[in-house]
Structure 1
Amino acid sequence: MKINDSPHPYAAVTIIFWSLAYVLTRVVLQYFSAYSVGFLRYFVASCTLVILALIMKMKIPRIADLKWFLMSGAVGFFLYIIAFNKGSERVTASMSSVVIATVPIMTALFSYFIYHEKLKGFQWAAIVIEFLGVIILTLMDGIFTVNTGLIWLLFAAIALSAYNLLLRKLLKDYSALQVSTFSIFAGTLILTIFLPTSVREIRNAMPIHLLYILILGIFSSAIAYLAWSKAFSKAKHASTVSNYMFITPLLTTLLGFLITKEIPDWSTIFGGTIILLGLFIFNFGERLYNRISMNRSSS
């Protein structure tokens, strides 16, 4: 397969920029509110995408479908980014990446109830394992505590999972590029309620902080989502691309240490390991079982 026809370079670019977003979000939240970071990040992304849409002469959605784009923007970008930022204020970048990495499984779980897609026994077991990992994440200093940051992040993961379900409807009539672009536009439109606060905070910001916002908007949002869409368009199976999300916790932890010297605590290490184990079983359990069965039969 030629590199131009492979989804892997595009998926890898996305995961790098998304992993960087966990770290940079923690940094900018020291100088901006969670609401301002949300608006400024997607405002920059929208400005970038406007240029691309004009260059590509992208067709606008049908009027009858505008409500669905508004809904996807509200759920996937407005609710998600506010919950994500509020959660990132209170937990480490590595912990936030572990929680958001559960989105593929949450999406599958919601699909089970909404679209009646079947889950196999080992997948239900994986969900139980992940739930145990989330419980361990709440054990700060050996004491069970209700960490508000973790609750916000779980809400963010639910919002992103709901957005994935909306994608299934929109992708029947529109390209992945159109869906991501116009959903971001819709989310940014709703986020303009935080425009006055954002303007006040920008006036007191240092140039380096504005640079971080630009990186989040251009690279971790606009380019990342476009690369993600491109990867899906080139992949034969969606799991080939979505499985890259499982790399984000490790990469985020490394970037967090290199950029901010952030070291994950023991609850994050143990809880995160258990959650990643659940993710592995959910996605590769059947393949591993079949391989073991073939080895036994051949011997």
Structure 2
Amino acid sequence: MKNQKQAMIYGLATVLLWSTVATAFKLSLADLAPVQMLLVASSASILVMAVILVVQGKWQQVFQLRRGQYLQSMGMGLINPCLYYFLLFGAFDRLPAQEAQPLNYTWALVLAYLSVPFLGQKLRRIDILAGLVCYAGVVVIATRGAVMSLSFSDPLGVSLALGSTLVWASYWIIATRDSRDPVVGLFLNFVFGLPVIIMVCWQTAGLVLPLGKSAVAALYVGVFEMGIAFVLWSQAMKKAENTSRVSNLIFISPFLSLVFIYFILGEVILSSTYVGLVLILSGLWLQQLKLRKREQALGQG
């Protein structure tokens, strides 16, 4: 049943969790290589999602799918968690959290652009304007305010962050054709992706993992960012009478994240970060305008 109040509570809980993960990423990467962090986090996420499926009474669905759906999980697992998080964690390994985190938020705009060729949606003028505003923010953050020089603080780190948005948007376009229960599908994607992560970790950084604060932070990422937050957000969307009101909660997350980054990581937040973040969020707000107007019209009807 729809319940807007419950939807907002689920949404706020998700946003709170999302706001902490940039800090958790950096804490974990202090002692772990990106692929080691991915191994720990993915393993924890699989266990959490297994428990969630048991609690929801959906565990049997894991074994009742068609052969093609298991093959689909093998392919999607290579995208998420393997490729997406390897790029994302690589970006956080090279960039300050205050830079990597806002750049990752541009994935929603990339999704709108990729939906044109792959889902047959139309590119609106507002999408083009939103893109110009968003990527102006990217340039401000990536150059740390030295816009005219176009001297990027870490070109590879910026490329990894923007590359992760392309991979994440592609994943969600593929997921639109996935008829499985969302948690069942994500669980199987992670299960099939895990052996690849183990192999890459073994061949590169090694499977001997340092214990301590970094390992705990990686477990936190797996439990909350990869597992519980996904389920909470799914519940928020399912309960929402007005999805745009819930979606707008996302705009709280990057600013709240800067609070954690400042007080826990001790990063001095640059003025260019604030300017760039405002530009990115303004672009995303513009991009959502039509969705909000459509929902308002349906509500009035």
TM-score (norm 1): 0.85
Q: 1:287 to 1:182 in 2, by over 3 A?
A: closer
Question: Is the 8 Å Cα contact of residues 4 and 239 (structure 2) preserved in structure 1?
Answer: no
Question: Is the 8 Å Cα contact of residues 76 and 162 (structure 1) preserved in structure 2?
Answer: no
- The amino acid that maps onto 1:32 is L
1:266 and 1:5 map into 2 onto residues whose CA distance is 36
Q: Show the counterpart of 2:143.
A: 139
SS at match of 1:123: helix
Q: Show the counterpart of 2:15.
A: 15
Question: Is the 8 Å Cα contact of residues 34 and 85 (structure 1) preserved in structure 2?
Answer: yes
Q: How many residues align?
A: 284
Task: Give the C-alpha shift of residue 29 in structure 1.
Answer: 0.6
Please tell me the root mean square deviation across aligned C-alpha atoms, in Å: 2.5
Question: Is the 8 Å Cα contact of residues 141 and 276 (structure 2) preserved in structure 1?
Answer: yes
Question: Is the 8 Å Cα contact of residues 167 and 179 (structure 1) preserved in structure 2?
Answer: no
Find 1:205's aligned residue among 211, 214, 217: 211
Question: Is the 8 Å Cα contact of residues 93 and 252 (structure 1) preserved in structure 2?
Answer: no
Q: Show the counterpart of 1:165.
A: 173
Note the 1:1-299 alignment, pairs <5 A.
6-55=6-55, 56=57, 57-60=59-62, 61-140=65-144, 142=146, 143-146=149-152, 147-170=155-178, 173-196=179-202, 197=205, 199-200=207-208, 202=209, 204-206=210-212, 208-236=213-241, 239-284=244-289
- The amino acid that maps onto 1:149 is G
Q: 1:286 to 1:168 in 2, by over 3 A?
A: closer
Task: Give the C-alpha shift of residue 113 in structure 1.
Answer: 1.6
Which runs of 5 or more residues in structure 1 are unaligned? Answer: 292-299
- The amino acid that maps onto 2:86 is I
Task: Give the C-alpha shift of residue 254 in structure 1.
Answer: 1.0
1:264 and 1:195 map into 2 onto residues whose CA distance is 33
Task: Give the C-alpha shift of residue 123 in structure 1.
Answer: 2.2
TM-score (norm 2): 0.85
SS at match of 2:177: helix
Which runs of 5 or more residues in structure 2 are unaligned? Answer: 297-301
| Higher mean displacement: 29-38 or 142-151 | 142-151
- The amino acid that maps onto 1:107 is L
Q: 1:260 to 1:168 in 2, by over 3 A?
A: same
2:221 and 2:182 map into 1 onto residues whose CA distance is 21
Question: Deviations along 1:110-161, whole A, 9 cap, x unmatched?
Answer: 0012112123222221111112222222324624224221110001111110
Q: 1:36 to 1:137 in 2, by over 3 A?
A: same
- The amino acid that maps onto 1:154 is L
Q: 1:248 to 1:92 in 2, by over 3 A?
A: farther
2:181 and 2:291 map into 1 onto residues whose CA distance is 31
Question: Deviations along 1:148-177, whole A, 9 cap, x unmatched?
Answer: 21110001111110111011000xx22222
1:80 and 1:218 map into 2 onto residues whose CA distance is 17
- The amino acid that maps onto 1:144 is L
SS at match of 2:61: coil
- The amino acid that maps onto 1:181 is F
- The amino acid that maps onto 2:135 is F
Question: Is the 8 Å Cα contact of residues 235 and 241 (structure 1) preserved in structure 2?
Answer: yes
Question: Is the 8 Å Cα contact of residues 180 and 226 (structure 1) preserved in structure 2?
Answer: no
Q: 1:71 to 1:232 in 2, by over 3 A?
A: farther
2:243 and 2:291 map into 1 onto residues whose CA distance is 17
1:186 and 1:240 map into 2 onto residues whose CA distance is 35
- The amino acid that maps onto 1:21 is V
Task: Give the C-alpha shift of residue 51 in structure 1.
Answer: 2.9
Question: Deviations along 1:63-120, whole A, 9 cap, x unmatched?
Answer: 1112222222221211111001110012222222211211222111100121121232
1:274 and 1:136 map into 2 onto residues whose CA distance is 9
